[in-house]
Amino acid sequence: MSSLFYKTNKNMKVAVVGVTGLVGTRMVEVLEERNFPVDEFIPVASGRSAGKMISFKGKEYTVVTAEDAVAMKPDLALFSAGADISKEWAPKFAEVGCRVVDNSSCWRMDPTKKLVVPEINADVLTEDDYIIANPNCSTIQMLLPLAPLHKKYVIKRIVVSTYQSVTGSGTPAINQMMTERNGGKWGEYPAFYHYPIDQNVIPHIDDFLENGYTKEEMKMVNETHKILGDYSIGVSPTTARVPVQGGHSESINLEFEKDFTLEDVWDIWSKTEGVTVQDNPSEFIYPMPLYSLGKDDVFVGRLRRDPSVKYGLNFWCVSDNIRKGAATNAVQIAEVLLRKGWL
């Protein structure tokens, strides 16, 4: 849905850092779609991409380096260039009065930085926040439907298994999958993963830690606690990469402290911004990643009680990880800043 309510007399300078990447490209699209006020667009990428042309709202703009962009003193910078770039450059943008919304993992667990899903916890933002963290894509899509349920029933435990699209690994992973689908033989082409991904499922996303979980899995644990503001919730994730070029899927099992009805859960979700219920298995209606591609909502279905615990719920959850899981959520954070008059 386009955001057409903006009124500002300010000459708005907006930078997208990592503009040539998969998420950066989507950030540009979402800024256009939602009619975010941009008077001066600043596309930013590495020195290798400097000088290239990027189209925004029918005009062509020259890609510049981060150093050049800081000198231009943008009002807003959307970052999607990796944690190392964010660590080095986000503070430099902030120092010149620029609000930074960062899509990397760099600042998410920094106690001095806010981690925000606007529909859930936009109220934590203050005028003093100049670097704001965008959560992990899998966390965003899980918590959007969970947050209102937690308010009413209090979640004791979450068991989640993810089936994550290759788009989460970027263009090299997409290229690997498509090469394999076109008959490429393993070992004869550049591979992003340790194994073939086409016709395969790899239960390994990010590095393994001493506790046996991966960094991706622990992101879901730690970010859930920080965003919901409740560190008592048990979270047990398993993340896997699947040969899909669409959205991420998640099988989610919840245990509540209070009883619930499926009808009430359905009603709560029907009133939750950004959540769409697709739940009529007898008519083959349920969320699928292929049909989430290019959309901003989180789709939920396969809703059913878990008979193995007293107050248990199972459901299936799908969302476009590059849109709501990254680009759209970042732009929505910027919209909050704009509505509050901080941009």
DSSP state of 72: T
pLDDT digits (tens, 9 = 90+) for 53-73: 999 999 999 999 999 999 999
Buried b (16+ CB within 10 A) or exposed e, 42-53: bbbbeeebbeee
CATH class of 138-322: alpha beta
pLDDT digits (tens, 9 = 90+) for 264-310: 999 999 999 999 999 999 999 999 999 999 999 999 999 999 999 99
User: Encoding tokens for residue 279?
Assistant: 């739940």
CATH number of 13-135+326-339, picked from 3.40.50.2300, 3.30.470.20, 3.40.50.720, 3.40.50.300: 3.40.50.720
Q: What are the residue ranges spanned by the domains of the chain?
A: 13-135+326-339, 138-322
Percent of the chain predicted with pLDDT > 90:
96
pTM: 0.95
Q: Give the active site residues.
A: 137, 248
pLDDT category at 246 given cuts 50, 70, 90 is confident
Instruction: Give the DSSP per-residue string, 83-114.
Output: HHHHHHHHHHHHHTT-EEEE-SSSSTT-TTSE
pLDDT digits (tens, 9 = 90+) for 97-116: 999 999 999 999 999 999 99
